């Protein structure tokens, strides 16, 4: 294991963190990982930051050090390469807590997908595949909030960061030989923008399968119910599940039209929820929609746009399989090229086509024929004759 003989500095006060910044402000690279606690909280608690640079190995205690600006300055420095594995989670945490937007990022999980590994791949499997090292995993669910740390915890934490520099070196060489360094840079450039970290507060509603089966009044109620759960959780710093378990939501939404008594009689809904919130839920259901609520609900795909024929499904499945085959033939992880549900979403949101059709690494990988098919995703027709399968663009004349 790489961390057995590793010496490190444990930073537990602002003066030492400032010294760390002075030591590393001219480093060319910085690898880092975080440990955090998200259970039973609305706001994830950052508990430990593991860092390696060309000047040393460091463990930063963000519970004891509230002002992390010296570390964040390095994350935002465009002259320093930041190396992570599945780092979008770490960057989202830093952005939510401090507004940090990283610059000059390199993620080994993303990059590995461009040299033949599946995406996503675990850190443990990638380290073994690239470096031949086998990491032991024993503290993945440790209580990172408690102090003092146990030495075995810190050993585990160091194992998640020390191999990152060597991974970066190995993967970069392979990317260079394939002329794909610019593909990785393009894919990760989104992480270096504020927009990447913005999330629609109504994302849960807009991606819900339940909402599509509801009438307008129930949709309004679901919007309000989710907003109430989210805001109450935020105010209390509880998880949303602690406020109202997700498994109860469909039962409440489908039963609310029959009143509080109907909710009480539903054996799947514990009495404590109807006793405490039943009257409020009923008022939420009865009040008419506001203009703001109508605007949110207007972003849901209409039934007309959402209807997909059996033939459309076959064509989309075939096109997705062809894209998968094309990616695999080029040793690129198919899930990096296109998530499985992307073609379905393109039917109701034409702007998503630009992910593929705008000049970029996906267009370079797939080529003109695939781009033409995707540009005309709603007008494709399938022809099978004499053992030959063709996808053609339907004539609009």
Q: What is the pLDDT of residues 128-148, one digit of tens each?
A: 999 999 987 655 557 899 999
Q: What is the distance between the alpha carbons of residues 210 and 256, in angstroms, rounded to a whole number? A: 15
Q: What is the mean pLDDT of residues 41-64?
A: 97
Confidence class of residue 347 from pLDDT cuts 50, 70 and 90? Answer: confident
3-state secondary structure of 368: helix
Decide: 164 and 85 in contact? Cβ < 8 Å.
yes
181 CB-near residues (< 8 Å, 6+ apart) = 172, 175
Q: What is the mean pLDDT of residues 250-268?
A: 95
Q: What pLDDT does 311 receive?
A: 87
Q: Which two tokens stand for residue 269?
A: 């809904």
98 CB-near residues (< 8 Å, 6+ apart) = 68, 72
Please, what is the average pLDDT of the chain?
93
Q: What is the distance between the alpha carbons of residues 316 and 322, in angstroms, rounded to a whole number? A: 10
Residue 353, number of CB atoms within 10 A of its CB: 19
For 94-130, the pLDDT digits (tens) are 999 999 999 999 999 999 999 999 999 999 999 999 9
Q: What is the distance between the alpha carbons of residues 320 and 256, in angstroms, rounded to a whole number? A: 40
Q: What is the distance between the alpha carbons of residues 188 and 196, in angstroms, rounded to a whole number? A: 10
198 CB-near residues (< 8 Å, 6+ apart) = none
Q: What is the mean pLDDT of residues 384-389?
A: 89
Question: Is residue 397 scored above 70 in pLDDT?
Answer: no
Where residue 151 falls (left for φ over 0; alpha for ψ -120 to 50; beta otherwise) is alpha
Q: Which residue has the tokens 């075939």?
A: 318
Least confident of 184-188, 257-261, 266-270, 341-345: 341-345
Q: What is the DSSP letter of 266?
A: -
Question: Is residue 4 scored above 70 in pLDDT?
Answer: no
3-state secondary structure of 207: coil
Question: Is residue 302 scored above 90 in pLDDT?
Answer: no
Closest CA to 119 of 332, 364, 366, 361: 332
For 176-217, the pLDDT digits (tens) are 999 999 999 999 999 999 999 999 999 999 999 999 999 999
Q: What pLDDT does 2 receive?
A: 46
Question: Is residue 303 scored above 60 in pLDDT?
Answer: no
For 217-245, the pLDDT digits (tens) are 999 999 999 999 999 999 999 999 999 99
Decide: 175 and 185 in contact? Cβ < 8 Å.
no
Q: What pLDDT does 101 receive?
A: 98
3-state secondary structure of 7: coil
Give one DSSP letter per residue of 334-387, joined into a string.
Answer: HHHH--TTHHHHHHH-GGGGHHHHSSSHHHHHH-HHHHHHHHTGGGEEEEEETT
Q: Which residue has the tokens 């509603």?
A: 205
* Cα angle for residues 151, 157, 160 (degrees, 5° grid): 145
Q: pLDDT: is 287 or 342 the higher one?
A: 287
């Amino acid at each position: 294991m790489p961390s057995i003989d590793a010496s490190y500095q444990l930073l537990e006060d602002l003066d030492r963190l400032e010294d760390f910044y002075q030591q590393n402000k001219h480093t060319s690279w910085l690898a880092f990982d975080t440990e955090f606690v998200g259970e039973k909280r609305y706001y994830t608690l950052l508990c430990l930051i593991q860092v390696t640079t060309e000047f040393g190995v460091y463990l930063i205690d963000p519970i004891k050090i509230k002002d992390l600006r010296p570390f964040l300055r390095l994350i935002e420095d465009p002259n320093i390469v930041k190396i992570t594995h599945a780092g979008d989670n770490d960057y989202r945490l830093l952005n939510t807590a401090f507004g940090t937007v990283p610059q000059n990022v390199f993620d080994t999980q993303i990059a590995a997908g461009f040299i033949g590994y599946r995406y996503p791949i675990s850190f443990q499997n990638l380290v073994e595949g690239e470096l031949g090292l086998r990491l032991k995993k024993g503290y993945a669910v440790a209580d990172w909030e408690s102090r003092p740390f146990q030495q075995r915890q810190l050993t585990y934490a160091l194992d998640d960061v020390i191999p990152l520099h060597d991974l970066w070196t190995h993967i970069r060489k392979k990317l260079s030989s394939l002329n794909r360094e610019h593909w990785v840079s393009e894919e990760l450039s989104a992480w270096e923008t504020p927009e990447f970290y913005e999330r629609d507060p109504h994302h849960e509603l807009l991606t819900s399968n339940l909402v599509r089966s509801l009438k307008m009044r129930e949709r309004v109620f679901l919007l309000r119910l989710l907003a109430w759960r989210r805001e109450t959780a935020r105010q209390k710093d509880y998880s949303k599940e602690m406020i109202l378990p997700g498994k109860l939501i469909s039962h409440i939404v489908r039963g609310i039209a029959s009143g509080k008594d109907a909710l009480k009689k539903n054996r799947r809904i514990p009495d404590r929820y109807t006793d405490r919130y039943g009257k409020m839920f009923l008022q939420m259901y009865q009040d008419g929609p506001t203009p703001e609520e109508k605007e949110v609900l207007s972003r849901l795909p209409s039934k007309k746009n959402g209807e997909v024929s059996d033939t459309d499904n076959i064509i989309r499945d075939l096109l997705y399989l062809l894209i998968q085959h094309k990616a695999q033939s080029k040793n690129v992880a198919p899930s990096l090229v296109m998530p499985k549900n992307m073609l379905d979403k393109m039917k109701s949101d034409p702007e998503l086509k630009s992910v593929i059709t705008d000049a970029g690494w996906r267009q370079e990988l797939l080529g003109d024929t695939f781009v033409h098919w995707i540009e005309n995703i709603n007008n494709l027709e399938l022809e099978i004759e004499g053992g030959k399968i063709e996808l053609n663009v339907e004539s609009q004349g």
